A and B are shown apart, each in its own frame.
Chain A
Amino acid sequence: EAQVTQNPRYLITVTGKKLTVTCSQNMNHEYMSWYRQDPGLGLRQIYYSMNVEVTDKGDVPEGYKVSRKEKRNFPLILESPSPNQTSLYFCASSSRTGVGLDTEAFFGQGTRLTVV
């Protein structure tokens, strides 16, 4: 079954304690991305990756890191989480033709992060 898997689904942590949210896809997609969803703000892009070893900042990259060492995995790292990073996070993947993202994106189930 084609899917994007995020872990964990729920996480409560304390300010400053490093954490990683994993994302894995089994569709051999080139494009992967992280979004955060906040009430009234929709989905805002944190980082994206067009292929292995290629990552770019989205609209809200501050406080986050990513890596793309393998095609299937795109972990999101919070080196020193703060309460303003409390949010619902989604990982997505998509195939590409040329430079355009013209196919549907598949989304993970989401990770609800609370930083206290």
Chain B
Amino acid sequence: AQSVAQPEDQVNVAEGNPLTVKCTYSVSGNPYLFWYVQYPNRGLQFLLKYITGDNLVKGSYGFEAEFNKSQTSFHLKKPSALVSDSALYFCAVSSPQAGTALIFGKGTTLSVSS
């Protein structure tokens, strides 16, 4: 069965510092990996995805993520955090071999202080 783990419920970082939000996954076959962001009282918005190719993918708002197959990880990163990045972040996985659905982690709250 597919699963996603986000080991940190909350990540706190000062504005201007780099940030990392962690994600590990378990899936049979090749993973399709995604990051979404949710602002208060809003639906989820797509940030970036890894399907194949370069392990480092770049997405919206300056975010990037690195796919590491050996560690089954897909950590979200940003070189310099903004207060406006404060939100709830979700990692998600699907797999063509599993042929099923899009599964989400529990989410990590990112808090960026000024």
Contact = CB atoms under 8 A, between A and B. Distances in A.
Given A100-B95, A100-B96, A45 B103 contact: yes
Contacts of A74: none
A104 interface: yes
Contact of A107 (B6, B9, B43, B100): B43
Given A56-B100, A101-B94, A42 B105 contact: yes
The DSSP consensus for interface residues of chain B is loop
B62 to A, nearest CB: 18
A35 B43 contact: no
A105 B103 CA distance: 12
Interface of A: 4, 31, 33, 35, 40-45, 48, 56, 58, 90, 92, 94, 98-110
Given A45-B101, A105-B44, A109-B42, 10 more contacts: A40-B9, A42-B105, A42-B106, A56-B101, A99-B96, A101-B94, A101-B101, A102-B49, A105-B36, A107-B45
